[in-house]
Chains A and B, each alone.
Chain A
Amino acid sequence: MRAVAAEGVWKFYGDYPALRDVILHAEPGECLALIGRNGAGKTTLLRIIAGFAKAGRGQVRIFGNDPRETESRRRVGFVGHGIAVYDELSALENLTLFGRLYNLADPGKTALEWLERTGLERAKDGLVREFSRGMRQRLAVARAFLHRPSLLLLDEPFTALDDRAIAVLQHLLKQALTEGRTVIMSTHQLREALELATHVALLNRGTIAFHGARTAEMAADPGWVYAHYGEG
């Protein structure tokens, strides 16, 4: 069964189609890099796949189920533009909270585990409000990976990360992929993304202009896809 199957997805803002007849698949274990210019619709598409918004037309299936179903939500981890953790709570409190929301067996222990994996164990009782930018990003990543999701959706995850955070994220993503999890990430940072990607899709003005396996040419020249399938 496909990890993600988007068929004929349209999204309208008023009468304006932000997404037009989008067809996109991802098999389990794939790492799909979703690239496209600003305003192409990458965030919109990811949010529909994650279940934050509903498609105007068409349907999305996560492992065969609707994204809003509890079972689907349990298997999805999302990293968006915001870090989605609470400034007034500590790192440990935040992760324990999400552990409880995802009904983990031992939320506290799992939270500590992931704080270690993202290099935040010494700041576990610090309030997020006091964290540096890179620390906040690493905590966001910890929150997304905490419940061992089968599908990771990341919206421009490498943007504004410091080097340490980039290294942590790449390591965790590689590990997730070897465990057979699926990753879809939208990105501007072509180099970092194409290193990890097994497949690439180009979103151009709301439609999929290209979807295929990542080739050696793409890895060598990140602009290759834009040059061949983009506009201008």
Chain B
Amino acid sequence: MREKIIYGLGAIAAVLLARNLYSIFMQLPDEASQGMIYRIIFFHVPAAITAMLCSAVACVASVMFLVTKNFKHDAIAVATTEVGLAFLAANLVTGSIWGRISWGIWWTWDARLTSALVCWVLYAGYLMLRHAIEEPGERARISAVFNIFAFTDVPIVFFSIKWWRTQHPQPVFWGGGTIEPDMLRTAVLNLVALCLLAVVLVLIRLRQEEVQREIDSMRRYAHAI
């Protein structure tokens, strides 16, 4: 049953992504000032939003684990954090590529990119923390507490970096401006596609966590005999 859901969602995501790629590359016209490369925004921004959703789910899962002590929630926390990190990395890389092509520089300390980088390092710490603890119950508990701290810090990071940048403006990779309805629709559709992709990846990772737990407990049984 679980497999069927994974395949089903994966298929929908694949179809949606294919359709979006077609529309992004074939149908939409070049943007006025930026040319081809602006199309990367259709991945850059949805990836960030997907990552944010993942971090929110991870925080809720962490709280649920601390309340119920059910390892399912711990599995969701680690799965969504890993997937979120991947999408955040995609956000950073697409942002960097865009900057290189448009502005000639690989990186700038603009507010959003900087905040994304800080959040990436924050949650990478969560994964490092997990790797350092062997006992599953302790690992789940300690990392759940850290996840809550990390998530609480995220809005503070965003605001503080924004204020910092208003005092030290750097080249902003994305100007404001309005978005045409066509482009907005494509962007939203791509967001849906990426979210579906995230769900598929999380489900796969969850399965892996379950299997790992079974192996661990069997290993303990074997040692006890």
Which residues on A are within 8 Å of B, measured CB to CB? 12-16, 39, 56, 205
Contacts and interface: CB of A to CB of B under 8 A. Distances in A.
Q: Is the interface of B mostly helix, strand, loop or mixed?
A: helix
B100 interface: no
B69 A14 contact: no
Interface residues of B, number: 12
A39 B137 contact: no
Contacts of B224: 16, 39, 205
The 5 A-B residue pairs whose C-beta atoms are closest, nearest first, are A15-B217, A14-B136, A16-B220, A16-B217, A14-B216
Contacts of B136: 13-15
Given A14-B135, A14-B137, A16-B216, 5 more contacts: A13-B220, A15-B136, A16-B217, A16-B220, A205-B224
A16 to B, nearest CB: 4
B155 to A, nearest CB: 32
Nearest to A56: B69
Contacts of A16: 216-217, 220-221, 224
B213 interface: yes
A12 B217 CA distance: 10
B94 to A, nearest CB: 38
B9 to A, nearest CB: 28
B100 to A, nearest CB: 46
8 contacts: A13-B137, A14-B71, A14-B135, A14-B213, A14-B216, A15-B217, A16-B221, A205-B224
Nearest to A53: B137
Contacts of B221: 16
A56 B69 CA distance: 8
Contacts of A13: 135-137, 220
B164 to A, nearest CB: 43
A59 to B, nearest CB: 14
Contacts of B180: none
B214 to A, nearest CB: 7
Contacts of A12: 137
Contacts of B137: 12-14
A88 B217 CA distance: 41
A39 B225 CA distance: 11
B216 A15 contact: yes
Nearest to A14: B136
Contacts of A15: 71, 136, 213-214, 216-217
